[in-house]
Amino acid sequence: MTEPAIPTDPIDVVEQFCAALERFDLDAAMELVHEEIVYQNVPFPPARGHKQFRGQMEGFKRFADVFEIEMHNIAADGSVVLTERTDVLGRGRFCPALWVCGTFELRDGKIVLWRDRFDFANLIAGLVKGLAGAALSLARR
């Protein structure tokens, strides 16, 4: 059996990267990021390099057993890919949805920058909806 080809089109790279994260396949995701990766959820401090990036991704994996990405829009200009999406990251019945805009920059066919921006009001609303959904689910049992 042959290994799947690593994509070269910037949008394909980002889509395969997101799909790997949804499957919690960190090894596959790491194949698509540059060794000098910078990952930042603005306004939080960035993770720099493979080690810090992998540490943050493993932290998400410890917190969550659900990660879904609904891609609303994706566009590329050369090696820069912009995304507008809704991310669902949660555990069990607590699954808040968060609107996110992301910038991915590629170098040598791999993601060297991933910067997400979100609205704190939207984050709080997502958390409240997630808690309400979990509480309703428990109440129906």
- Residue ranges of domains in the chain: 10-139
φ/ψ (deg, to 5) at 22: -60, -35
Task: Specify the CATH number of the domain 10-139.
Answer: 3.10.450.50
| Cα–Cα distances in angstroms (integers) from residue 122 to residues 33, 43, 66, 86, 99, in the given order | 28, 15, 19, 11, 7
Residue 77 pLDDT: 97
Taking the CA of residue 86 as centre, how many other CA atoms within 13 Å lie in the half-sphere pointing to its CB? 8
Give pTM, 2 decimals.
Answer: 0.81
Provide the annotated active-site residues.
Answer: 87, 116
Is residue 1 pLDDT above 60, yes or no?
no
pLDDT in tens, 48-73: 999 999 998 998 888 888 899 999 99
